Amino acid sequence: MGPDLSGSQREQPRFMVGAAIGTGMAAQSATRGGADFLIALSAGRMRCIGEPSVAAMLPLRDSNDFVLSFARSEILPRATVPVYFGAASFDPRLDLAELVERIAKAGFAGIANFPTSILIDGQYRAFLERSGVGFGRELELLRVARERGLSTLAYTHTAEEAVEAALQGADIVNIDLGWNVGGVLGAVSHLRVDDAGLIANAIAQQVRAVSRKTRCLIEGGPIVSPKQLEEFCQIARVDGYIGGSTIDRVPSESAIEVVTAAFKAIGMARQQPDGLDSRFNPRRFPRPLWGHSHAAETARALFNRLTTTDYPVVIAGEAGTGRREIARALHRFGPRQARDMVSLPCANQGAERLKLDLFGCMAGMHPSAVKHRLGWLEIVHSSSLLLDDVDEMPLEVQRALLDAVEAGSFWRYGSETPSPLNVRFLAIAGEDLRHLPAAGIDARFAEWLGCFTIVLPPLRERSEDLPSLIDESLRMIGLRRQSEPKSLDPAAFRALAAHRWPGNLRELDSVLEQAVLACSGSVILEQHLPPPGAEATSSARNFRSEKEWILHGLKRNRFRRSQTSEYLGISRKTLYNKMRTYGLQSAAGLEE
């Protein structure tokens, strides 16, 4: 069977995620990550052998036999969710009913029209349609599949194609935004995420106008990361997302490159007189720890002692001080570096939801758990879990987590057997947990997690560190632009030193980036500097009340709270508190 499209699901649709893949390993990993269905595609297999996805559109081999060969042996035996078959209908000699029967007997839950003519345009596309082997034939393939009792997923690109597929009864309409950008083999696209959101939203509205049963999902184009999908969903109301290159190619490329480079770096370090100790060269410290201030030296010394340990660590400081960079470095240098660190947001999360995210749940033991749900404590086994905004974690979750740490094991909801706890905890907080009021933090939890706390001072309190931080930022900007780094005129430096930097290092980087773009020479002058934070810090005076100012900032940044706090020049914690004070949580809609 395909994904659940029952009436109850349609009344309160669940956001679906599909993985268009080409190997059994990708199928297992995507399913463990929560994929609701898989699509076995020739493009997925092409990516696995090092070719771009578009190679699947070329007459290199029989696409249907190709997909059957690997999907039947690798994907179907390992799949615990429905699998769609990416079927090609270009061959005019192909008996569609016979093909559908082969696919059904192999055990596939549904059929998708891929490779597809929707990715072809111009005269060639027109010739395909006139010859009867274009999109119309693909819809005929899906019709035959429905009659055989299979679920159908229609790849579409335009509103006309999407509406036509919905009218003919497709269970899922996939609004394809074009080949994915990103990675080594990614396509080139000038479509921005917000423009893609507007396009997809308009298509989805037209589909819903003709069919209340059809689910609208999106795939491809500029959406390469979860963050970009989050931005997209602020604009478009869709029922889910299908990841192809973004699930199997892009993560694999980056992970393999990083691991290979790490092994290479170890080998290079062994050739140096100081061996592995060279990694503690000052230039190898994360940039937020650079400088000669007492606060920087204290934080750097503690970081140095903690890098090779497995202790829990809290990184405390204002937004923009580089807390996440420190956490990533602790994980990268630590004993669990072989696996990726995972970040879990703790702010503005209900206690029940957060406990489900942490501990997981057995199927049927909670309204949101229609199948076994792995918690992050289980997924991140042998790695590090970053608790983001841990000072906003509900008290009952703090106590439940501490109980698990003390016991060395935890229970999924509804499970009769415990799971071993093997996680290093890192955390980000606005300030030292042990200094917070008892009403907001459990004392035992603070003592355990906050035993080792790296405090990052705000930039305004470490002005003596400003020269080295500016030099490094300009050096990094030069590397990104593949040009010699620019230098600062003394007057420009004085202007930067006089600023209060409410956005801390993040704001400094943004100001310098704009200054480099504005400067055509090699020296940045004062007139090249944007007014640092002027728009954000002075805009409050343009409103009748602080509530209007906060709401204006939220709307301007599409209710993305990290960007809103940066825009307003206040910390995220301050923003959350003000939103509670003025009752603006409901106005925010989709939360970060």
Cα distance between residue 573 and residue 318, in whole Å: 9
The top-level CATH class assigned to 546-582 is mainly alpha
Domain 461-528 has CATH 1.10.630.10: no
d(CA 288, CA 322): 6
- C-alpha distance from residue 144 to each of 76, 97, 99 (Å): 22, 6, 10
Q: Rounded to whole angstroms, how far apart are CA atoms 264 and 363?
A: 44
Q: How confident is the model at residue 326 (pLDDT cuts 50, 70, 90)?
A: very high
Least confident range from 30-34, 69-73, 257-261, 559-563: namely 257-261
Q: State both tokens at 279.
A: 């990694």
Q: Where are the domains of the chain?
A: 16-253, 287-455, 461-528, 546-582
The confidence score (pLDDT) of residue 409 equals 93
Would you state the pLDDT for residue 253?
56
Structural contact between residues 223 and 229, judged by C-beta atoms closer than 8 angstroms: yes
Ramachandran angles phi, psi of 119, nearest 5°: -90, 10
What is residue 26's predicted lDDT score, i.e. its pLDDT?
84
* Ranges 122-131, 257-266, 414-423: which has the least confidence: 257-266
**More confident: 15 or 275:** 15
Give residue 481's pLDDT. 85
Q: What is the pLDDT of residue 270?
A: 40
- 367-391 tens-digit pLDDT: 665 577 788 999 999 999 999 999 8
With cut-offs at 50, 70 and 90, classify the pLDDT of residue 534: very low
CB 459 within 8 A of CB 321: yes
CB atoms within 10 A of CB 298: 14
Strands 360-361 and 373-374: antiparallel
Q: What is the dihedral of CA 538, 544, 545, 550, to 10 degrees?
A: -60
pLDDT of residue 319: 86
- pLDDT, residue 83, reads 95
The tokens describing 27, both together, are 């199928």
What tokens were used for 571? 């910390």
For domain 16-253, the CATH superfamily is Aldolase class I (3.20.20.70)
Question: How far, in Å, CA of 339 to CA of 235, rounded?
Answer: 34
Q: Is it true that domain 287-455 has CATH number 3.40.50.300?
A: yes
Look up the pTM and report it: 0.47
Give the residue with greater pLDDT, 243 vs 181. 243
Q: Which of 85-94, 480-489, 530-539 has the weakest average pLDDT?
A: 530-539
